[in-house]
Amino acid sequence: MRFQWSAVFGAVLDDSEVLDLGRGQADPGAGDNPLAAGPVTLDEADLAAVRENLPGAITDGPNPVTVRDPDVPDELPRTQTVARALNSTTFSGFSTVLESIHNGVHGWVGGAMSAVPIAAYDPVFWAHHSTIDRRWYLWQISPRGVNPPAGLLDQALAPWPVTVRQVLGISTLGYEYAAQVIG
């Protein structure tokens, strides 16, 4: 059984193929897939810098979009890895495994998603981060979920004028996820 990332990024055909991931504007199979590619709206100087320093992350031309270079599906997070994160009994244990899952998916998608300065231009960035955020929420409501260490709670989250403590509960941020309790 494959974990949700496979469903988000495409249906698995065999050990080496993925459908509907989309590789940017140059992908004739992208069709109407809203996660296929995102416009990169940078000024000319920044576009030139991205193209020079991150070759292949965006398309050429006057209206660039994000490009991907996904790895084989076997490199996506496994159900057991996600379970290990959700079964962690400490904030440190949970956050270490979740961060590894998070970083691994960025690397797996490749292209713009693997480049911090432009990753958020790729629509998959937002789907991926929602998945990571939901894992954090599920761990929080589980019997094992605990707050970060006290020393982190009043740390500012620059560049925003909020602290860790102020964003711990998703309801205070104005959204919710479907209820699912991890036993």
The per-residue pLDDT for range 73-124, each reduced to its tens digit, is: 888 888 899 999 999 999 999 999 999 999 999 999 988 998 888 899 999 9
Contacts of 72 (CB under 8 A, 6+ apart): 15, 16
Sign of CA dihedral 112, 113, 119, 124: positive
pLDDT (average), residues 60-66 = 88
| 23 pLDDT more than 50 | no
Instruction: Record the pTM.
Output: 0.76
Q: What is the pLDDT of residue 183?
A: 58
In this prediction, residue 3 carries a pLDDT of 31
